[in-house]
Amino acid sequence: MRSPFFPLFTWLLLSVLLAFGSLFSLLSWSSFPLTIHHLVDTLMSFDSTSIEHQILLSIRIPRLLSGFTIGASLAISGALIQGLTRNPLASPSVLGINTGAACFMALAAIGAPFLVDLPSVVVAAMGGCVSGALVMILGGFFSSRPHKLKLILAGIAISALFSGITRAAVILADDKAYSVVSWLAGSLSSMSWVQWQILWPYSVSGLLLAIYIAKFLNLLSLGNEVATSLGLNITMTRTLTCLAVVLLTTSSVAVAGPIGFVGMLVPHIVKRLVGNDFHILIPACGVLGGSLIVWADGFSRAIAFPAETPVGVITALIGTPFFIFLAMRGR
């Protein structure tokens, strides 16, 4: 039985992890030495003539905010998908939502008709919706007795399809291939206040919607029959959950590219810490997911400094063994 102090300890641990990760991301691995003194001065008395202040305000702070928001969004969307499908292997990347959004973004980047003139978040949302719908249909999610393995196999197949289309688009656009390939790896290197302004409205909207449907997902975890007998509208719950996932996932893909495995890894860790109550699970996933990306961003600069390793590579190195472990345990 858990101690009554366990939730307090968990939140303290998550807060410390986020605080140190934020300092690590803000101050480490820069061509100009950055200190806490520079950070405090930037926040309290900004000096436009100081190169350290300029770096922190124009590059590091928006990058930190964007990284935390992206990590939180992906982790929360993973918790929502796992709650909706009751499948521990489900996540935006495994079910092809990331891949579909990235595919449409790549097509827009090379000038595809009907996509090139649309806002990036709208393009990513279209791709995520198309791929997610195909996975749900092929995986039999809407059947009376959906099979967990069939859903995952459908996700792998649709991901392979959209990945193939993306590669073909990159091959056909040699002049833009490098920038597209770099973006497809999932990177925060181009984050600025512009990307932050694009990202936060959709992410906050998805977070608020996720908090609203937490009570519905708690009921759904009891089973469709029990949830229905308690008055839950399962169709509405599925619709609202899918909308929240699309808002959270595609907004992140639109600004940083597809960053995988966060949505699968983080919810499993958080469930071990706080349990399965979505009222607590959602904010805890947000904090831990944001912390994971913040730390990964710092290490992405450390591996080959002054060059940068994409954050998506770091999360893949962490998440792939974890996915294999889950698949083998659930065999």
pLDDT in tens, 269-311: 999 888 889 999 999 999 999 999 999 999 998 887 888 888 9
Q: How far is Cα 119 from Cα 181, in angstroms, rounded to an integer?
A: 20
Q: How far is Cα 24 from Cα 40, in angstroms, rounded to an integer?
A: 15
pLDDT confidence tier of residue 174, bands split at 50, 70 and 90: low
CATH number at residue 91: 1.10.3470.10
What's the mean pLDDT in 158-165? 91
Instruction: Answer whether residue 40 shows pLDDT above 90.
Output: yes
Would you say residue 1 lies in a domain? no
Q: Give me the pLDDT at residue 139, please.
A: 83
State the DSSP string of 274-285. H-S-HHHHHHHH
For residue 20, which amino acid is it? Answer: F
pLDDT in tens, 4-37: 445 788 899 999 999 999 999 999 888 888 899 9
What's the mean pLDDT in 62-68? 96
Q: Give me the pLDDT at residue 138, please.
A: 87
Among 264, 210, 281, CA closest to 7: 281
How many CB atoms within 10 Å of residue 268?
17
Backbone phi and psi for residue 174, each to the nearest 5 degrees, phi listed first: -60, -40
Would you say residue 27 lies in a domain? yes
Domain assignment of residue 151, given as a range: 6-329
Please say whether the beta carbons of 80 and 97 come within 8 A: no
Residue pointed to by tokens 């990177």 = 187
How many CB atoms within 10 Å of residue 144?
6
pTM: 0.91
What does R_g of the chain's alpha carbons equal in angstroms?
Answer: 20
How many CB atoms within 10 Å of residue 299?
15
Average pLDDT taken over every residue of the chain: 87
pLDDT in tens, 189-207: 889 999 999 999 999 999 9
Instruction: Answer whether residue 93 shows pLDDT above 60.
Output: yes
Q: Give the number of domains in the chain.
A: 1
Would you say residue 44 lies in a domain? yes
Instruction: Answer whether residue 144 shows pLDDT above 80.
Output: no
Q: Which residues of 232-248 are buried (b: 16+ CB within 10 A; e: fewer)?
A: beeeebbebbbbbbbbb
